[in-house]
Chain A
Amino acid sequence: MKSALEGRKITLHDMTLRDGMHPKRHQMTLAQMKAVATGLDQAGVPLIEVTHGDGLGGSSVNYGFPAHSDEEYLSTVIPLMKQAKVSALLLPGIGTVDHLRMAKDLGVHTIRVATHCTEADVSEQHIGLARQLGMDTVGFLMMAHMNSTEGLVEQAKLMENYGANCLYITDSAGYMLPEDVKARLSAVREALKPETELGFHGHHNLAMGIANSLMAVECGANRIDAAAAGLGAGAGNTPMEVLVAVCDRMGIATGVDLWKIQDVAEDLVVPMMDFPIRIDRDALTLGYAGVYGSFLLFAKRAEKTYGVPAREILLELGRRKLVGGQEDMIEDAAITMSRARKSAEASQ
């Protein structure tokens, strides 16, 4: 026997073209999208997310204007897919049901409605409509380390009641350790209907991407997010090619070809990186302090402009208990901190 999980079957969900938009500052070209999506499709990845990093309607001063609109990206990728389905992310408060309808019309199969892990009740409208439109509908609870196990169970059940047929526990900060994953996913699995799927989205800030994903599978998750070469916010997502290799060894069926996904990662994704996706001190700080992954580049830019180290900014954002979407508070915090430093220097 290869492992205790031998014989389990999971759906790998690719993040390269959505979470991977964060380290690309949402500037992926249509040619890059086409090449990567086609490679993933040929490697057997069953589900590929394509959107602005902050989801449908994320195009903004606050999160960054993308090189192309969601419509352009989706309508470029979807017709090329031979077997893979395409998903889109939607954060209520940023995107609306109008974006959802647009995505459906362009052939998006799966919609993932994302809220902070305590605010599921803002998703009723969007989950309800997606289900009514016959879409594969996922509730996506972000920054899941910021809620208790009981709290997450309650929020997951709300989304299930609104019509989600799959629930995700999302470690947006890459903060969770395998024991955290175990406690949360087992409790949520237990509380959901048996037919409701369970998913896990990890970040690699503490190098726990693979370990946490395996723990999630052990606790009954059957959808796992990963990105080729880990291209994603912070130190990236769970690296897909590594996860596929580990699953192969353990006898967990993914349907993804290891050599092909390696080649996508190595030949297509690594060359398009603007910088190596690795656990540098700022990404490590995200994971250590539990800060939202996509704040990383904003903090690094604020360091350049205002002279406050990114690590200090990130720690301050953690102290302020910021949630996903509060990118505006990074420049604000940096200015306030820079002013405090100057007045401290002046009084010395």
Chain B
Amino acid sequence: MKTMTLRKVKCALIGPGNIGTDLLMKLKRSPVLEPVWMVGIDPASDGLKRAREFGIKTTAEGIDGLLPYVEADGVQIAFDATSAYMHAEHSAKLNALGVMMIDLTPAAIGPFCVPPVNLKEHVGRREMNVNMVTCGGQATIPMVAAVSRVQAVKYGEIVATVSSRSVGPGTRRNIDEFTRTTAAGVERIGGAAKGKAIIVINPAEPPLIMRDTIHCLTVERPKAAQIEESVHAMIGEVQKYVPGYKLVNGPVIDAENHRVSIYLEVAGLGDYLPTYAGNLDIMTASAARTAEMFAQEILAGTLSLEPVTA
């Protein structure tokens, strides 16, 4: 019997930095995705060299270096791990060729996607660009949603603490973008009437594993048993793609103040990024998970991507 090669959906990655490389390693393991191109802008970059070592085609000509090969190489999904500033152009050019875009930058041209909460909705709507919010958003929004699906949340607040080594210069230069985007995600996807996000960067050595705290204020007295069950079920959903997503304490139910607090730790898989950088791992894992769900629909013939002009 001949070994069957399963058909996979071909992908391109833009941005060969730490995130792009970690994502590439995850995609290499996917049963439904096949990374074929890595796009960079510096021919001498380590990231492009690494990608070539993984057997991926590379270009240092930016997005325009990829466009002529999209059709011939059958690229259907692209990941953008560059910057918000570059993303609009990347998305417009690739969408025009019928390539679906998964945005890991804070640009948020497309709707927010937090896989266990609203990924199915996006696949159903055949979105051509989805945004992965922020690392803190991926880690905390599922918990806000776990509470808000039980009862109304009037206020959701998250505190993401990350190791200094895991925060790159882009995030540092525009830390407000993190707080604003995450707070918006807590509201829109988490289901809190009002959202707030706080980020703390801790330089301790050895580096601390990402910690996330979620505080929800419920309208009515918190329904302890249902919240507990919902939170544990949601953690199980996230653990499907981030095995190091762990409840440390809680849900603490402060009945008098209608407060529900959940204390998490997020360890990464340690593909390319170190395990303490759970904040970066949860972004690449969520992006990969999102692409896989779209790919399954494409392979099943239930989703066909069409060119979109802006």
Interfacial chain A residues near B211, Cβ < 8 Å: 328-329, 332
Least Cβ–Cβ distance between A50 and chain B, in angstroms: 21
Comparing B92-100, B125-133, B169-177, the segment that makes contact with chain A is: B169-177
B259–A122 touching, CB < 8 Å: no
Interfacial chain A residues near B164, Cβ < 8 Å: 118-119
B230 within 8 A of A: no
A62–B213 touching, CB < 8 Å: yes
Comparing A242-250, A264-272, A318-326, the segment that makes contact with chain B is: A318-326
Least Cβ–Cβ distance between A101 and chain B, in angstroms: 11
A93 within 8 A of B: yes
A335 within 8 A of B: yes
Q: How far is the CA of A288 from the CA of B223 in the complex (A)?
A: 42
Q: How far is the CA of A63 from the CA of B175 in the complex (A)?
A: 19
Query: Contact residue range for chain A?
Result: 20 to 34
Per-position 1/0 for A93-111, Cβ under 8 A of B: 1101110000000000000
Interfacial chain B residues near A323, Cβ < 8 Å: 200-203
Least Cβ–Cβ distance between B192 and chain A, in angstroms: 12
A331–B252 touching, CB < 8 Å: yes
Residue from A61, A122, A322, A325 in contact with B175 in the complex, judged by beta carbons closer than 8 Å: A122
Q: How far is the CA of A121 from the CA of B200 in the complex (A)?
A: 13
Q: How far is the CA of A119 from the CA of B166 in the complex (A)?
A: 12
Q: How far is the CA of A27 from the CA of B208 in the complex (A)?
A: 33
Chain A interface, >50% SS class = mixed
Q: Which chain B residues (147-172) contact chain A, with CB distance < 8 Å?
A: 155, 157, 159, 161, 164, 169, 172
Q: Which chain A residues (3-37) contact chain B, with CB distance < 8 Å?
A: none
Interfacial chain B residues near A98, Cβ < 8 Å: 176
B176–A92 touching, CB < 8 Å: yes
Least Cβ–Cβ distance between B42 and chain A, in angstroms: 22
A322–B202 touching, CB < 8 Å: yes
Given A323-B200, A329-B211, are A61 and B157 also a contact pair (CB < 8 Å)? yes
A83 within 8 A of B: no
A161 within 8 A of B: no
A96–B215 touching, CB < 8 Å: no
A326–B174 touching, CB < 8 Å: no
Q: How far is the CA of A121 from the CA of B170 in the complex (A)?
A: 10
B199 within 8 A of A: yes
Per-position 1/0 for A141-181, Cβ under 8 A of B: 00000100000000000000000000000000000000000
A326–B175 touching, CB < 8 Å: no
A61–B215 touching, CB < 8 Å: yes
A343 within 8 A of B: no
A196 within 8 A of B: no
Q: Which chain B residues (14-67) contact chain A, with CB distance < 8 Å?
A: none
Least Cβ–Cβ distance between B175 and chain A, in angstroms: 5
Q: Which chain B residues (202-256) contact chain A, with CB distance < 8 Å?
A: 202-204, 208, 211, 213, 215, 217, 248-250, 252
Interfacial chain B residues near A325, Cβ < 8 Å: 159, 198, 200
B157–A62 touching, CB < 8 Å: yes
Interfacial chain B residues near A96, Cβ < 8 Å: 176, 179-180
Chain B interface, >50% SS class = strand
Given A61-B259, A331-B252, A336-B249, are A326 and B200 also a contact pair (CB < 8 Å)? yes
Residue from B175, B202, B249, B250 in contact with A321 in the complex, judged by beta carbons closer than 8 Å: B202
A328–B263 touching, CB < 8 Å: yes
Q: Which chain B residues (108-156) contact chain A, with CB distance < 8 Å?
A: 155
A60–B200 touching, CB < 8 Å: no
Given A320-B204, A328-B213, are A97 and B176 also a contact pair (CB < 8 Å)? yes
Given A121-B169, A122-B175, A335-B249, are A116 and B204 also a contact pair (CB < 8 Å)? no
Interfacial chain B residues near A61, Cβ < 8 Å: 155, 157, 215, 217, 259, 261
B179–A93 touching, CB < 8 Å: yes
B196 within 8 A of A: yes
B176–A125 touching, CB < 8 Å: yes
Interfacial chain A residues near B259, Cβ < 8 Å: 61
A94–B172 touching, CB < 8 Å: no
Interfacial chain A residues near B213, Cβ < 8 Å: 62, 328-329, 332
Interfacial chain A residues near B180, Cβ < 8 Å: 96
B173–A60 touching, CB < 8 Å: no
Interfacial chain B residues near A329, Cβ < 8 Å: 161, 211, 213
A241 within 8 A of B: no
Least Cβ–Cβ distance between B169 and chain A, in angstroms: 7
Interfacial chain B residues near A60, Cβ < 8 Å: 157, 196, 198
A124 within 8 A of B: yes
Interfacial chain B residues near A121, Cβ < 8 Å: 169, 172-173
Per-position 1/0 for A60-71, Cβ under 8 A of B: 111000000000
Q: How far is the CA of A335 from the CA of B251 in the complex (A)?
A: 11
A116–B201 touching, CB < 8 Å: yes
Q: How far is the CA of A122 from the CA of B162 in the complex (A)?
A: 13
Q: How far is the CA of A329 from the CA of B248 in the complex (A)?
A: 11
Least Cβ–Cβ distance between B218 and chain A, in angstroms: 12
Interfacial chain A residues near B252, Cβ < 8 Å: 331, 335
Nearest A residue to B157 via CB reads A61
Q: Which chain A residues (310-345) contact chain B, with CB distance < 8 Å?
A: 320-323, 325-326, 328-329, 331-332, 335-336
Q: List 6 A-B contacts (CB under 8 A).
A: A62-B157, A93-B179, A93-B198, A124-B172, A323-B200, A329-B161
Given contacts A60-B196, A336-B248, 13 further A-B contacts (CB under 8 A): A62-B157, A92-B175, A93-B199, A96-B180, A118-B164, A121-B173, A125-B175, A323-B202, A325-B159, A328-B261, A332-B211, A335-B263, A336-B249
- What are the nearest 9 A-B pairs in CB distance? A321-B204, A328-B213, A61-B215, A96-B176, A118-B203, A335-B249, A93-B199, A325-B200, A332-B263
* B residues whose Cβ falls under 8 Å from a Cβ of A: 155, 157, 159, 161, 164, 169, 172-176, 178-180, 196, 198-204, 208, 211, 213, 215, 217, 248-250, 252, 259, 261, 263
